[in-house]
Structure 1
Amino acid sequence: MATEMKKINVLKNIKTSKTASINLCKFGDVKAVSKAKTIFPFTNDVASEVEIHTKLAKINLSPEILDFDTALHSITFEYLEGSNDVANYDEQFLIKLGKAIKKLHLVDFQDTAIGSFQQKIDAYRQIFLDVDDSSVLAGFKLFDSLYDSSNNLVFSHNDINVSNIFYGDDIRLIDWEYAGANLPIYDIASITKSLKLDEHQTEIFLDSYDKKFDTSKIKSFELLISQVEYIWQKALNLTTN
């Protein structure tokens, strides 16, 4: 079911891929972004994304949903002012980012219809049941070695990278397709890997997050993230060909 419809005028295409077509648009008189999703077994559906946005927009962690249509797998959300060019980040950015991720991980998700990262990995396993790929198998093996308990799960973005961090007065995140319950270190490692943080920068970020993580464990999760990215790309190819 969609919300009350207003006329959407597409201004230009931002990005088109196997997962979504994303356009800059006007929603009525409001500058906005529209996204038409392709749904996969390992991604959140539109209803889940809307629920996530609704909860997180209240605490300035995501853009506000303006319109959606679950039948068409489409979402329209507010255009974020600010920059997502965080290549030249400074100490203030790292401090804000640490506080934002901490705020995300403290969100109560028990009343939210989201799955876990474990369930997304299980969806990948089903796709690769009859595929013999040593890199995929290595990724699953590493996951199993790092996830020996389902305790201490938090609400996690699961795909934080430089392209979906918007930096202005607040830090807000986009692209919640893979969000769900996960260990907090997964988001931490996603950030240290994507931003290529050195030891000093990592210390600033973690001080702001207000928790210490073992450096070797972060490196192990960075490796897992690289392997999950490989698995994701292979799964995408298998399910769209």
Structure 2
Amino acid sequence: MIDKVIKEIPQWQGKKISYTSLSGGITNLNYKVDVDDESFVVCISGAKTSLLGIDRDQERTINEATAKLGIAPQVVHSTDDGHLVTRFIEGKAFSEEDVRIEKNIERIAKTIRKFHTLSDFPWKFCSFRMIENYAKTAKDHGAQFPPQFSQMIEQMNKIEKALSNQPKKLCLCHNDLLSGNFIDDGTIRIIDWEYAGVGDPFFDTANFSTNHVFTNEHDKILLNHYLGKEPSDTDTAHHNLMKIMSYFREAMWAQVQMQISTLDEDFEAYRDKHFDRMSDCIDSEKFEEYLKAVS
């Protein structure tokens, strides 16, 4: 497939080309392609990724918009099959430990705030609807849900009802802020915009937090720099309720992957880990406090 994509790019023909596989992706296959003295990344779209809520035209358009802000790599080509070619960014790949350093939390928070200024896109991202869609897709493909699944849906509905009282301040969100999606070349760059859409900004802060197992102290640093001020009790509660939704989304994403993916990944372990973390949050005495705070 990588050879096929390379042959489809007119400006690369007749040039010296070599490529190597890039590690880290659990949805797609990624390659670094060297063309004469330039380097690119070719993302080969995974099988049936539309069932994960991914729209490749949407991804390309949002990537192009965030590249103009100096956040994402430049898009140089896309194929009819949904494979994406971007410029390779030479920089430091972040580890989870790097992301938990206070200075990096500050830098990433300010980068998130920068692309959160965008909102003029037709594509929406709602974690509640996403989980419902994942549940239907998984069920249609014969999935077996854990015994506590119906209770989790009930708690999700409580969160959505409580947050319905909050003003709707929607913006472009990345929705997949893993350490592997950050590159530091002196500026924080963010890659992989395949789940991006217009949604709740606190889902991004929460997703960033849950992906790196932030403590309360990490969360305070994040929210202070993201908001540019001390977070209110409502802000903190909103963020923490979205952390529950982030765990739920990750678990349900893995539930679908268990049914459709051809990649050699332990999606069941990934699902169970996030279901367990979600359950811990719901069982916490803080859960009801957060619901009251946003209500």
Residues 1:224 and 2:230 aligned together: no
Contact 1:48 1:113 in 2 (8 A): no
User: For structure 2, which runs of at least 5 residues remain unmatched after alignment?
Assistant: 1-7, 263-295
SS of equivalent to 1:26: strand
CA distance in 2, matches of 1:122, 1:217: 20
Shift of 1:77: 0.7
**CA separation of 1:214 and 1:151: change in aligned 2, threshold 3 A:** closer
Quote how far apart the aligned CAs of 1:132 are.
Answer: 5.2
Give the RMSD, CA atoms, in angstroms.
2.7
Q: Does 1:11 align with 2:19?
A: yes
Question: 2: distance between equivalents of 1:142 and 1:163?
Answer: 30
Alignment equivalent of 1:164, drawn from 164, 172, 181: 181
From 32, 38, 44, give the equivalent of 1:24.
Answer: 32
Rounded to whole Å, the distance in 2 between the matches of 1:29 and 1:184 is 39
Three-state SS of the structure 2 residue aligned to 1:41 is: helix
The alpha-carbon deviation at position 28 of structure 1 amounts to 5.2
Structure 1 contact 160–191 (Cα < 8 Å) conserved: yes
Per-residue CA deviations over 1:214-239 (Å, capped at 9, x if unaligned) read 44443332232222212111111223
- Which residue of 98, 105, 108 maps to 1:97? 108
The answer to whether residue 255 in structure 2 is matched with residue 234 in structure 1 is yes
Question: 1:11 & 1:3 partners in 2: Cα distance?
Answer: 15
Q: 1:55 Cα shift?
A: 0.4
Amino acid at match of 2:243: E
CA–CA distance in structure 1, aligned partners of residues 144 and 73 of structure 2: 40
Distance 2:85 2:151 in 1: 38
| 1:237 alignment partner AA | M
| Bigger Rg over Cα | 2
Residues 1-241 of structure 1 aligned to structure 2 (within 5 Å): 5-7=11-13, 9-15=17-23, 19-27=27-35, 29-38=37-46, 39-69=49-79, 71-86=80-95, 87-89=97-99, 90-108=101-119, 110=120, 112-117=121-126, 118-129=128-139, 131=143, 133=145, 134-148=147-161, 149=164, 151-210=168-227, 212=231, 214-240=235-261
The separation in 2 between residues aligned to 1:81 and 1:100, in whole angstroms, is 18
Count of matched residue pairs: 237
Q: Larger % of helix: which?
A: 2
Partners of 2:157 and 2:42 in 1: CA distance: 37
Comparing 147-156 and 223-232, the one that deviates more: 147-156
Once residues 156 and 75 of structure 2 are traced to their aligned partners in structure 1, the CA distance between those partners, rounded to angstroms, is 33
Q: Which amino acid in the other structure matches residue 20 of structure 1?
A: N
8 Å Cα contact 1:45-1:177 kept in structure 2:
yes
Identity %: 19
1:61-119 per-position Cα deviation (integer Å, ceiling 9, x unaligned): 211111110x22211111122222242343322221111111121112x2x34232355
AA at the equivalent of 1:91: E
Report SS of the residue matched to 2:50. coil
Q: In 2, Cα distance between the equivalents of 1:138 and 1:225?
A: 17
Q: Which runs of 4+ in 1 moved over 6 A?
A: none
SS in 1 for 2:12: coil
Moved more, 198-207 or 3-12: 3-12
Scaled by the length of structure 1, the TM-score of the pair is 0.84
Shift of 1:21: 1.0
Instruction: Give the conservation status (yes or no) of the 8 Å contact 1:105–1:156.
Output: yes
Q: Secondary structure at the match of 1:147?
A: helix
Query: In proportion to residue count, which structure has more strand?
Result: 1
Unaligned segments of structure 1, at least 5 residues: none
